[in-house]
Amino acid sequence: MTMVDRGLLLILSGPAGVGKGTVCKALRERMPELVYSVSATTRSPRPGEVDGVNYFFKSKEEFQRMIEQDELLEWAEYVGNFYGTPRKFVDEMLSLGKDVILEIEVQGALQVKDRFPQGTFLFLAPPDLNELENRIVGRGTETEDVIRKRMEVARAEIELMDHYDYVVVNDVIESACDRIQAIITAEHLKKERQVHKYRKWLKEVE
């Protein structure tokens, strides 16, 4: 299969509270053909979250088995919980020519970059750190201690921005989605994804 036939693997990550889930949901509503890769996690479901839709909720024992059997494209421990991306589903969708988006933490994104450098890596950034903290507090689901730890981690994660291909500021959800759609279009039009098709045409008319 040539690059033009294979789907894009899009990795969307950024600090906790930046709005990855909200932006990803809005993007998928615009682009229903975009395949969402559901992550596995050991954290407890938040209100309204559904197993197999938002996450595959696993015990720590189940997650450890997935690691040992190399069933994860990436995995990371974050604030006491484990997160990971099941490998088989992603490979199958890309082979079918479908674009797949991973909404994952920064640690996991860097693992994917080591294993799948041809992916497209998007860092979703807050307008500023004060806004990021306000969003985390606004969830009403974390204690003050967890909020403090998340902000410490967020500062460290922003320092890793250089490892990404694009930085998208999530100031307004619709604007963030516009930017990501433009990136997807540009990635599909890259020379490396198109040249094989035209070389084939040229050979056919020789």
pLDDT at 36 over 80: yes
Strand residue runs (E) in the chain: 9-13, 35-37, 39-41, 55-57, 72-78, 81-86, 100-103, 120-125, 166-169
Predicted structure pTM score: 0.79
* pLDDT (tens digit per residue) in 107-147: 889 989 988 899 999 999 988 877 777 777 776 667 888 87
In terms of Cα–Cα distance, which of 134, 125, 130 is closest to 160? 125
- The pLDDT value recorded for residue 2 is 57
Q: What is the pLDDT of residues 63-122, one digit of tens each?
A: 999 999 989 999 988 888 998 999 888 999 999 999 999 998 898 899 899 888 999 999
Region 43-47 average pLDDT = 93
Q: Which pLDDT band holds residue 150 (cuts at 50, 70, 90)?
A: confident
Show me where the domains of the chain are located.
9-37+99-204
- Provide the β-strand partners of residue 78: 81
Q: Decide: 2 and 197 in contact? Cβ < 8 Å.
A: yes
Domain 9-37+99-204 architecture: 3-Layer(aba) Sandwich (3.40)
Q: Quick one: pLDDT at residue 160? A: 93
Sign of CA dihedral 92, 96, 97, 100: negative
